[in-house]
Amino acid sequence: MEKEVRSFNIEFRANGDSRTIEGRAIPFNFLSPNREGFREQILPSAVEGVIENSDIFMLYNHDRQKGFLARNNKGKGTLNIDVREDGVYFSFKPGTDNLSNYVWERMERGELDEMSFAFTVENDTWTKDADGVYTRTINKFLGLYDFSIVDSSYYGIEGAAQCKRFAEIQEEDRKALEAAQKAEEERKAEEEARKEQERQERIAETYRKLREEYIQYLPKQQG
């Protein structure tokens, strides 16, 4: 299953009084802007039964090699996660290691303002509007892997391009359209063939009647 990443310019903050970083990692029922031909929203049902079965790291720029800021392993750990009506919230107290101090200092200076998370999808729904723009509704995550504090330029357009499923949906729609067009062409060809057959039958019937009339006419002329 493809691992995907989404970034959002959403609220999180560093609380200097308690040296706590807290905010929202996943928004619910938020329809993203059109990016690369599709929009996306996440339903609250997406996280049901997932967090308590996932090992979620809090990272910086999704870079596990640099270590991690906090961790929630199947509902327990230094990364506190709270599911609310409008999304998944988190809080943690950064340690005193170099990475934690670096992130904390940059947050206090207001230099970090974007959250991101990594996930896989178990169930989603795609619709297409009259303008050809798709909407993806994520109904259920398969897994959540990390929340990440990221630089504002780290994932340019909210990671929307990182969705192979969109390419698959487009390909499925293309094939469905080709199949529909082929079926319509075959229907038209069958209709034309039927009309031609009916025309030939009318010609044959007309010829038969004319022949019968001619045969009946000949004795009269000979008499």
Is pLDDT of 191 > 80?
Answer: yes
> Would you place residue 124 in the very low, low, confident or very high pLDDT band (cuts 50, 70, 90)?
very high
Domain boundaries, the chain: 4-162, 164-223
Tens-digit pLDDT profile for residues 140-160: 999 999 999 988 644 433 444
The answer to whether residues 58 and 146 touch, using CB atoms and an 8 Å cutoff, is: yes
Strand partners, 121: 141
CA distance 42 to 33: 13
Cα torsion 21, 27, 33, 36: sign: positive
Q: How confident is the model at residue 7 (pLDDT cuts 50, 70, 90)?
A: confident
Two structure tokens written together for 69: 């800021």
What is the model's pTM?
0.71
Dist. CA 25–CA 176, nearest whole Å: 37
